[in-house]
Structure formats: C-alpha cells, structure tokens
Structure 1
Amino acid sequence: MLKIIQTATRRGFLKTINSQRSYLRTFLSQAYYCNEVWDSRLNSPLLQKVNLDGLYYELDQGFQKTRRISPVDVDIFANALKDDVFIDELLDLVHKLRLSPDTGNTLNSTSHAVVRTLLRNDKVKELLQVLDDRLNYGVFLDDYTANILMDKFWKSKDFAAGCLVASQMMLQEDLKHPVTVNLALLHCYNYLLKPGDWLEMPQPEEPEEEVKIRVNYIRNPFNDEHFDLREPQKIVGKTLAAATRDRNDSLHNSLRIIGLALFGKEELVKKEMEARKNTKLIKQVVQLLPDDNPFKADLTQLELVSEDVQTILEKQLTESIAVTSEKDIANQCSLFKQWENERLQALEEQKKRLHTLERLAEVERMKKELSEKEEKLWFFENEEKIELEIEEGTAAIPTRQTKEKKTDEDYVPPEIIKTHN
C-alpha cells in the first residue's frame, strides 16, 4: 500500500514538473541564440579598454557643442555594455545619434546590441517603446532578432509583446522568413484567444499653460493605416493578413479573413471570401472575432470545420525551425565576425578623417603665422601699401551721420545775472 502511494506521489510530482516544463518551453534551441559567440565580442582589445563613463561624457559634451556624434563611437559603447548600469546612457546616445546628421552611417551591429542588452536585462517595456519609436531611436529588427524576441515572449506567455514584435516586421513589410511568420501567427492567435494588456506608448507631454503658435495652415487629420495604427485589433489584424499572404489552405485563409475583418477592410473581406468560396473556414479561428465585429455574423453562418489550431501552428513552427535553424545560426555567427571587422574599419576611417582635419587646421595656423611674420619683415617696404589698406578699411566702415545744426551768426546769448537772496 505504501509503495502504491509512493508511486502515485512520484507520478504526480513528475506530472507537475512536466507541466512546468511545458509552460517554460521555447521553440528555439539555446544554440539558436548564439550567446557564446555574441559574448566573445568582449574579448576584442578595442572593447576591453573602453571606459564607458568617460566615453559617454566625451560623446555627450561633443554633441552639446557641435550637434554631431560619431556612429562608430556609439556602436562601441553599445557593444561594450555588460550589465544594466549604463542602459539609460545607451538609449540617450542612440537618440542623439538619431538627431545627428551622421545617423545615416549607423553601424549594423548597433541595433542588435541595443536589442540584446535590453532583452538580457529584462527591460521589456523599454525595449518595446524603443522599437515603436523608430523616429527617435532608429532601432529596427531583422528576422533573427524578431525570432529570439518572440521566442522569449512565448516562454513568458507575453503574447501582446510578441504581437508588437510581429507588427514591427509587418510595418517593415518584411514578414517572409518562415520561422518569423509562424511565430507571428502563433502569438497573434494566442493573443486573440485571451487579449491581454496592450502596452501603451508614452504620449508627448501637454504644456501646462495654453501655448498659441502661428501656423500657415492647419493640416487635416490623416491616417495612413500603417505607421499611424494604434488600435490593438487593427495592428493584430493587419499582421495576420500580412503573415498569411503567401499561403493558401483552410487555416491560413481563415486567419487572413479574420485579420482583414479586424483591420476593418470590408471590400477585402468580401473579395477573399469570394476567392476562397471552395475552401471551408475553421470554426475556432472565426470565433476569435469579437461579438461587435460586423463580419462575425456573416462568417458564422458559413459551413465551418473544427481543427486543433494550436497544434497545427506549433507543428508548422517546429517544422520551419528544423529546416532553417542551422542556416540561421551560421549566418548570424558570420555576421558577428563581419560586424567586428566593420567596426575596426570604421574606427580607422574616423581616425584618418580626424588626422586630416588636424593637419588642415595646422596648415592654416602655419599660414597665418607666416603671413604675420612676412608683414613684420617687409613692413617698411610695404608701408605705403599697408597704410592704403588701412585707409580703405577705415573708409569701408560706415560712419554715423549726424544732422548738422544750423547756427545763427547774429545770435546773442542771454546775460546771466546772479541774484542775492
């Protein structure tokens, strides 16, 4: 009897562990993250001798004076970070670089370093805000960084954050990588199953007092239905529509139609339904539409089939990872080495430019000194020429004209008599 109880207890314990493992499961392997290769960048002599405090002060002071900042110096600062001590300084430098005329020369590794640093230090809110504020930070995702972010958010069951990452790829019109597409679909599907809190991006602060500004004309309100999207349902809907564009089966057709319905495109929904009239839609997908969506009543009246959508999406994701994982890892490790070479090359080019500017400044200084010496040595021979130049210079200075007062020659001033009191 005791043995039976122990066996049952052990099975219950193992069941609990398995359920926890299922909850903590990620799709991407640890090798996909390339953490060891990424951390090896710190072995570079260039990054080892960086004083982050001093470098930030120098870059900040230089920007205050010239409104310019070196892209390679910002990249060195971003890649030299090891912890969260200088995260605020990092974001400040990235923002300053965005304001600088040199922002077009930003190195490719800078965005990757910012994403890695914020993700490793669990700064999820800051990371999502930086990604959303592309104008002020200029941090953009690629397939690899989008994949590791969505995989991390899947582990923490933060489907809203996963949808925001997927939407960034949609906005960049770059939802093509099979792993990225399947991760995006999985996050969007699970978010619609149980919508969570959507991260509200900070709005510009309103002035305390009313400020009136004269403008030439008032612009009419405009929404491009792309970068101006702010409603969660429309963002998720357009992401679903973009992620299912190249697939033609019951699941992807169903996801695409509800995506367009969430996006609010009546004509496109009708067009898709007409084009896919021979394809049955999946009931579990159609039920994701909110009750107040105008398309739900029409879709629910169609002949629908039942499928285990979650299992299908996870299977497709696993299959795509098996096909592309090794190639993605090899490409990313190769990029890490390439970025290191680009950083060293950019630093050498910057040194050459600074050296050239210093030499030009030295030449100008020497020319000025020689001119002054020549003027002193040949002063008496060129005395008349110098005096002429002085006179011409004096004549060139505008003199203040004063109004001449007319005097009366017959004018007699009054006689002043001292009186005694």
Structure 2
Amino acid sequence: MAASILKRCLIPVQTFSKCVSHRSIVRRCLLSAAYTDATVWDQRRKDPQNIAQLASLMDRTYERKFPVSSLTMARFIDNISSREEVDQAEYYLYKFRHSPNCWYLRDWTIHSWFRHCLKYGAREKALYFLKNKVQFGTFPDEFTFNLLIDSFVKDEDFRGACSVVEEVMLQESFEKISTQILCLYALSRYLNTKPELSWQEERNTGASLLLAGLKQENSVGFSARLLGCALIGKVELSRGIHSVFHQMPLIWTSGYLGRALVVMETVCSDVTDVKLSKEVLDQMEKILEDLSTSHQDSSDSESDDEVLLDEPDEEEREKLPQYINRFKELRKQLEVQDKSDKRSLESLTSVLSQQTLSRCEESDISEYRARLHHWETERQQLIQRETDMRHNAQREKEMRQTAGAGGPVK
C-alpha cells in the first residue's frame, strides 16, 4: 500500500523533471542572452544627428545630382529612433544603392539597419531587405544572420527563420559553426511541422540542408546532406536539372539522388559513430516512392502541363529503378551495422546545439567585439577625411572671394 502511494506521488515529479529537461534543451538550442545583448553595440561612440535634417540634406544632394556620402547614410541609419523612421529609411537606402556611391555602403551601416529592424518590431522589413538585397545592397554578415534567425526561432516562426536561412544559403555564408547549427535547427523545426512545399521551396530547403550539412562531420551533417540531396533530386527528376541550378549555388551536373546514395555509402563504410536519422531515411524512401508513382503515371498518360525535359534529364529518370534498389540495399546495411538512429533530425540537431553553441558563442562574441573596434576606426577615419575636405573647401572659397575683391592671394 505504501509503495503504491509512493509510486503515485513520484509520477508528477518524474513528469515535471522531463518537462524541465526538455525546456532546458529548447532554451539551449537558441542563442544566449549574452550573444543577443545589444549593450556592446549601444555603448559605441555616438554621433547624434537630427534625422529630419539628414533627410533634407540627402534630398538636396540628390536634386543637385551629387552623390550622398556613406558617412551621411551611416548617420541616418544610426539615428533611427522609431518604426516610422525605419520605414522612411527604406527610400534612402534604395536611393543610395542606385547612386554612384552604391559600393560604399558600410558593413556597420548594414548591421545597424538590421538591428534597428529587430529593435522596432520591423522584422518583416528586415526579411524584405534580405529578399531584395541586390536592390538595397544589404548583405549581412554571419553574426547579423544569427541574430535574425534567433529572433524568428524564439517566436516559433520557423517559416520566417527558414526564409533567413535561404538567404544564408544563397550568400554561402556557412563559415561560422554557430550559423550552421542555427540554420540546421531552424530547418529541422520547420520540416517537423510537415509543411506543404512547392517545388521551389523543396529546392531551396534541400540546398540549405545540403550546404549547411557539408560543414558538419557528424550524424546531423550527414542526415542533412542525405535529405538535402533527396529533395533536390526530387526536383531534378520532376522538373529537370536546369530548375535545380538556376540562380542557386549548386553543382550543375545531374545525379542528386545518386549523391544521396553516396552519403549512405559513406556512412556504411565509415568506422566512426556517425549514423543517419531513421526519419530522414523514411523521408527519402517516400520521395523515391512518389517519384516512381509519378513517373509511371506520366508514362501511362500524356499531359499538356508536363515539363519538357532534356536528354540528360530523361537519362536520369531511367536510373530511378536502380536508385530504389540501391537504396533498399544500403538501408538494410545501415540497420545491420546499427547506423540508423531512431532520433529525428530535429532531435539530433537540438542535442548538437546544446553541446556546441555555448563554445561557438564565445569566439563569435570575441570576434564581434574586434569587428566593432575595426568599424569604429574606419568611421573615425571617414569623419577626419570629411573634416579635412570641408576645411579645404572653405579655404578655397575664401581664396576665391579674396581674389575676386582684388586683394592679395596668399
């Protein structure tokens, strides 16, 4: 009787412990408060300006067909103090991008712009600028990307987070380990919601998984590569290789399903403890089944909407039965070797982030502080150059006035 009562009392405690453990993992999957804290950024030397006067100055400068300096643009962005001014800045960033000085938008100005978007609740504006980065010249660094991804993930907007990840992929900005992990975490959380993806989204998601996964030599990295190649291979067989590499940083040669099988072969022959997620293997199996079914349906009936494929694409389609058979063989081999992990890609990525992010953050923050120092040095040099130019211009003006009045020119 006493044992039964004790058991009933312990059940809520065990349940609570599991919840606490899960929540701590989720929190650790995100960036720490030290990483996202804006104190270091806010403590930099300020250059207070009236933003209305700066806007008027830029308008007059453009009317006279003169270029606005990057320092003026930086001052305008740094002095934003409301959501309305964030919206106003869009016009001036666009004008600057389409001016003779377009190549001189400073890195700290770009970072400042995205920080202001997050500060004043304009995250959709930040995403718009990412999607139209060529039009505005706003190409963020990886630290800025991390802040944006983290902001979306903390609000559980995984679709928005993956939109940022897509831009990281297009810029091929996967050098920082923290960026790799955040991107893989956002992708795995989004895919766990079972979204209905268009073929463009499948390609973009697959490319993001592949390129981020190539940077990780572990179970997360290999599982991401496998799923990435499978999603890209699905697009390749259904729409052709040209749809795959168009405006994408991907290899132009056919055979992405074959590359997925190479990932499986590599894990089978690897002597380390790298495993592939069973969930990812199930997803690849479903992709192969869907492709087989759609291929048979297209062979049995003609459709006016069918995509016209080149000869290499048709040859790749003919390899599908071989791919299916080889996949079955390799999956059995993985199970025999105990290299099929029952955990999902999301679970694997959560564990990896819990183990790795804290170490990555220290080096990222240190590097960020050094970059702030470099930016400040560059800014002071620009201010000094501006001061010298104004002084010289004033001196030349005085000399012209003196010469015009008939006085001596010294």
Same fold (TM over 0.5): yes
Partners of 1:160 and 1:197 within 8 A in 2: no
Task: Tell me which amino acid in the other structure corresponds to 2:31.
Answer: L
Separation in structure 2 between the aligned mates of residue 276 and residue 370 of structure 1, nearest angstrom: 88
Q: Partner amino acid for 2:112?
A: A
Trace 1:15-414 onto structure 2 (pairs within 5 A).
Answer: 27-41=30-44, 44=45, 46-47=47-48, 50-196=49-195, 231-264=200-233, 266-274=254-262, 276-277=264-265, 279-280=267-268, 281-288=276-283, 291=287, 292-293=290-291, 301=328, 302-303=330-331, 305-308=340-343, 309-363=345-399
AA paired with 2:355? E
Judged with a 3 Å threshold, the aligned counterparts in structure 2 of structure 1 residues 126 and 271 are, in CA distance, closer, same or farther, namely same
Give the C-alpha shift of residue 71 in structure 1.
0.7
* Separation (CA, whole Å) in 2 of partners of 1:160 and 1:40: 33
Amino acid at match of 1:167: E
Contact 1:193 1:288 in 2 (8 A): no
1:140-183 deviation digits (Å, cap 9, x = unpaired): 22221122222222211222222222222222222121111111
**Contact 1:75 1:110 survives alignment (8 Å):** yes
Q: Match of 2:271?
A: none
**Structure 1 gap segments, 5+ residues each:** 201-229, 372-421
| Structure with more helix by fraction | 2
Alpha-carbon spacing, 1:25–1:254, altered in 2? closer, same or farther (3 Å): closer
The whole-number CA distance in structure 2 between the counterparts of 1:64 and 1:287 is 61
User: How many residue pairs end up in the alignment?
Assistant: 333
Q: Which amino acid aligns with 1:28?
A: L
CA contact (8 A) 2:35 2:365 kept: yes
Residues of 1 paired with 2:141 and 2:72: CA distance?
Answer: 22
User: What is the rounded CA distance, in whole Å, between the counterparts of 1:236 and 1:181 in structure 2?
Assistant: 14
Deviation at 1:195, TM superposition (A): 4.9
Can you list the C-alpha shifts for 1:299-321, whole angstroms capped at 9, x where unaligned?
86341624313232112122222
Assess, with a 3 A threshold, how the Cα gap between structure 1 residues 274 and 197 changes in structure 2: closer, same or farther.
closer
Contact 1:118 1:124 in 2 (8 A): yes
Measure the CA separation in 1 of the matches of 2:83 and 2:262.
Answer: 53
Q: 1:26 to 1:277 in 2, by over 3 A?
A: closer
Relative to structure 1, the CA distance from residue 121 to residue 16 in structure 2 (aligned partners, 3 Å threshold; closer, same or farther) is farther
DSSP 3-state at the match of 1:324: helix
Mapped partners of 1:368, 1:197: distance in 2: 76
In structure 2, how many angstroms separate the alpha carbons of the residues matched to 1:276 and 1:155?
33
* Residue type at the aligned position of 1:320: T
Q: Encode CA deviations 1:73-96: one digit per residue, 9 max, x unaligned.
A: 111121122332311222222212
Partners of 1:263 and 1:106 in 2: CA distance: 35
Offset of residue 21 of structure 1: 7.8
Contact 1:107–1:343 (CA under 8 A) maintained in structure 2: no
* Residue-by-residue CA offset, 1:289-346 (whole Å, 9 max, x unaligned): 5754567956863416243132321121222222222222222233334323322321
Cα distance in 1 for residues equivalent to 2:132 and 2:259: 34
CA distance in 1, matches of 2:104, 2:282: 48
The one-letter amino acid of 1:128's match is: L
How far apart, CA to CA, are the structure 1 residues paired with 2:359 and 2:14? 36
Q: CA deviation at 1:267?
A: 1.2
* CA-CA distance at 1:109 after TM superposition: 0.7
Q: Percent identity?
A: 22
TM-score by length of 2: 0.70
Q: CA deviation at 1:259?
A: 0.9
Supply the distance in 2 between the matched residues of 1:170 and 1:235 (Cα, whole angstroms): 8
In the alignment, the residues of structure 2 paired with residue 124 and residue 197 of structure 1 have an alpha-carbon distance, to the nearest angstrom, of 24
Distance in structure 1 (CA, Å) of the matches to 2:37 and 2:201: 32
> Larger Cα Rg: Structure 1 or Structure 2?
1
**Structure 2 contact 229–260 (Cα < 8 Å) conserved:** no
Q: Report which stretch shifted further, 91-100 or 13-22.
A: 13-22
Tell me the equivalent position of 1:386: none
The whole-number CA distance in structure 1 between the counterparts of 2:327 and 2:51 is 60
CA distance in 2, matches of 1:108, 1:282: 39
Aligned residue type for 1:354? R
Contact 2:216 2:222 in 1 (8 A): yes
Is the Cα contact below 8 Å between 1:160 and 1:196 reproduced in 2? no
Task: Please say if residues 93 and 136 of structure 2, whose CA atoms lie closer than 8 Å, have aligned partners that are also in contact.
Answer: yes
How big is the shift at 1:110? 0.4
Inter-CA distance 299–92: structure 2 relative to 1 (3 Å threshold): farther
In the alignment, residue 254 of structure 1 is paired with which amino acid? S
8 Å CA contact retained: 1:241, 1:257: yes
CA RMSD of aligned residues (A): 3.5
- 1:26–1:152: 8 Å Cα contact kept in structure 2? no
Aligned pair in 2 of structure 1 residues 252, 46: CA closer, same or farther (>3 Å)?
Answer: closer
Equivalent-residue separation in structure 2 for 1:351 and 1:197 (angstroms): 57
Does the 8 A contact of 1:258 with 1:285 survive in 2? yes
Q: How far apart in 1 are the matches of 2:291 and 2:403?
A: 77
Counterpart-to-counterpart distance in 2, 1:135 and 1:14: 50
